[in-house]
Structure 1
Amino acid sequence: MYEVFNVGKTILLDGKPLSLVTPAGVEGWIEKGIPHSYRYDRVRDPLDGRMKYRCLYETDGADVPFVLVNDPDSGDGRVILFDQKPDAPVE
């Protein structure tokens, strides 16, 4: 079980900080051939209190996982939350 804490402006996963990555950043990894993997965990949406899914990425050589966030130049820069896992069948 992963323990998630928000400490000021730092998000911690099992006591370790998370890095941030935007969808464009992930596209950059793909274009550059940087190996990466992803997984989803469940977190409570701070806006509506419902449980949602958050996408975490890991790359070779990175010490901490990356959490997927909106681009602050075109959005609010918040963590992207999904009602359902994007790769899960629609119920």
Structure 2
Amino acid sequence: MADYIIPFEQLGLGDVGRVGGKNASLGEMIAGLASAGVRVPPGFATTADAYRDFLKHEGLDDRIKQTLAGLDTDDLDQLAQTGDRIR
């Protein structure tokens, strides 16, 4: 099973692909700036794998793909309506 939750203390800029830029930056701040007095609240990141596996487990990934099929990305109204349906 993949690690779906990672404490900030274990993250750095090399983890952007796994947890996103903001979470990776928080980990980097803890590692590199704590000695300078920069305080970061304790916390954790959920991984992109956690999100993807959730979508797949619930069958949402296929439903999203079906909803996006044939989407005209130049049609702003259709984009908004499709986004609403997916949310």
Using the size of structure 1 for normalisation, the TM-score is 0.20
Higher strand residue share: 1
Q: 1 or 2, which has the higher helix percentage?
A: 2
Structure of greater Rg: 2
TM-score (norm 2): 0.20
